[in-house]
Amino acid sequence: KMHPPASVNSGGETPENTDDPSTVRTYRAWKGNNIFFLQGRLMFGPDVKSLIITIFLVVAPVAVFCAFVARKLMVDFPQHFGYSILILVIIHIVLIALLMTSGRDPGIVPRNLYPPVPVEYNESVGINIEPNHPPRYLPRFKEVIINGITVKVKYCHTCMLYRPPRCSHCSICDNCVERRDLHCTLLGQCIGLRNYRSFYVFIFSMTLLCLYIHGYCWVYIKGIQVSEEISIWEAMKKTPVSIALIVYSLISGVYVGILTIFHTYLISTNQTTDEKIGYRSDPQISYDKGVIENFKEVFFSSIPPSKNNFRSKIPIPKELSEYGNATDLSRMLHTESEHRQVASKKLEINLEVQDKIHDNESNWITHDNSNHPAEYSEKHYYKKHI
């Protein structure tokens, strides 16, 4: 019996309903707490709902400003026409930077499928242990040498790997993120190696937006005072919307302004928030290359590609296979209650694995430890504090 070939859409991808029932797309079996949209093309944190609130808090005052202040400012004071439409440019930059920060892989390090296995110290004294039965006790830290400098890396029991330098695990997203700075609840996403630049552009442009609205509300009030020859208080009474926007932009501007100043300082010293407040495995390592080089690294270096292909097809994970084929799994993952069932099942499996992992004096190896020197020698600069 002849079967017609599977149809392919314009993007060159096989439709979801023709997938091999023994496989599933990576984003559907993702073990982190992330939420995906557009079939894995957009990736958000578990608190993505807060992003909707943030967008409203950004767009709503701008809409009010344009309707009640900027429009009247252009009519009553046409000399300010060019400056009034500048807000459209700023708000576009804010929204683009916001979405690029929230919907992008921040630099997640792919987790191992199995715990690391030991290797023999030498031919005479070895440790004969099967991969499926790891020994008890795993070293929490491991030292690797990069550019002649000894760097201490920490083992992550959740991702079952030794984290690269400057990488830390986010308890909210449940992922190890390269050069993780913080988890931004307002944006519903971790801030790391791949989205830090857009995050800084967002907070910087938000500061400009607040200053713009705050300043032009005062310009409008001053214009009313001069044109009608009344006191400043009388002019303020004529435009209560401007007063509300002045207060709102002042509070918001102080918050994002302080955040912008703080991250400008972090960039100038090549630090992350985690490193600045002390959550780092080796405080003796400095990444500072000088102010100019530090800024060039953040704003003029290429953003590395994601190490995760969320739309690639993988065999259905063993712990999820009992739920049926990929189609059944797809339907199951669309409901919140069944989402919790899967999370509970994964937790049980992780606990079983963790119960097997303890300490051992052997030398442990993971798939990415061997790549540390080659990967980081070209990207990072290491020196000891004097």
pTM tops 0.85, yes or no? no
* b/e code 237-276 from CB counts within 10 Å (16+ = b): eebeebeebbebbeebbeebbebbeebeebbebbbbebbe
Work out the average pLDDT over 218-244: 91
In this prediction, residue 78 carries a pLDDT of: 75
**Separation of alpha carbons 266 and 273, rounded Å:** 7
Tokens in use for 369? 């430890």
- The radius of gyration computed from the CA coordinates of the chain, to the nearest angstrom, equals 26
Residues 6+ apart with CB under 8 A from 205: 90, 93, 94, 97
Three-state secondary structure along 72-125? HHHHHCHHHHHHHCHHHHHHHHHHHHHHHHHCCCCCECCCCCCCCEEECCCCCC
- pLDDT tens per residue, range 246-294: 999 999 999 999 999 999 999 999 999 988 887 665 556 778 899 999 9
Collapse the DSSP code of 196 into the 3-class scheme (helix H, G, I; strand E, B; otherwise coil) and give the result: helix
**Separation of alpha carbons 254 and 121, rounded Å:** 57
Give a yes or no: residue 115 inside a domain.
no
Give a yes or no: residue 311 inside a domain.
yes
| Type of residue at 310 | F
Under a CB-based contact definition with an 8 Å cutoff, are residues 35 and 46 in contact?
Answer: yes
Statement: residue 195 has pLDDT above 90: yes
**Separation of alpha carbons 160 and 115, rounded Å:** 5
Owning domain of residue 56: 16-108+186-360
CA 267 from chain center: how many Å? 17
Bigger pLDDT: 310 vs 128: 310
**Separation of alpha carbons 320 and 329, rounded Å:** 8
Statement: residue 372 has pLDDT above 50: no
Statement: residue 353 has pLDDT above 60: no
**Separation of alpha carbons 320 and 323, rounded Å:** 6
User: Where do runs of H (alpha helix) occur along 114-166?
Assistant: none
Give a yes or no: residue 118 inside a domain.
no
Give a yes or no: residue 224 inside a domain.
yes
In this prediction, residue 286 carries a pLDDT of: 78
Tokens in use for 290? 């000088």
Q: How confident is the model at residue 71 (pLDDT cuts 50, 70, 90)?
A: confident
Enumerate the active-site residues: 184
- pLDDT tens per residue, range 156-182: 888 888 888 889 999 899 999 999 999
Give a yes or no: residue 146 inside a domain.
no
Cα Dmax for the chain: 97
Give a yes or no: residue 149 inside a domain.
no
Q: How many domains does the structure of the chain reveal?
A: 1
Tokens in use for 132? 């499926």
Average pLDDT across the chain, whole number: 76
Give a yes or no: residue 120 inside a domain.
no
User: Where do runs of H (alpha helix) occur along the chain?
Assistant: 49-65, 71-76, 81-84, 86-102, 196-228, 232-238, 240-269, 273-276, 291-299, 326-332, 336-356, 372-377
In this prediction, residue 379 carries a pLDDT of: 42
By C-alpha distance, which of 61, 74, 87 is closest to 242? 61
Bigger pLDDT: 331 vs 147: 147
φ, ψ of residue 40 in degrees (nearest 5): 90, 0
Under a CB-based contact definition with an 8 Å cutoff, are residues 331 and 125 in contact?
Answer: no
Give a yes or no: residue 382 inside a domain.
no
Query: The dihedral of CA 52, 53, 58, 63: what is its sign?
Result: positive
Regarding beta strands 141-146 and 383-384, do their DSSP bridges make them parallel or antiparallel, or are they unpaired?
Answer: unpaired
Which conformational region is residue 223 in: left (phi greater than 0), alpha (psi within -120 to 50 degrees), or beta?
alpha
Work out the average pLDDT over 97-110: 94
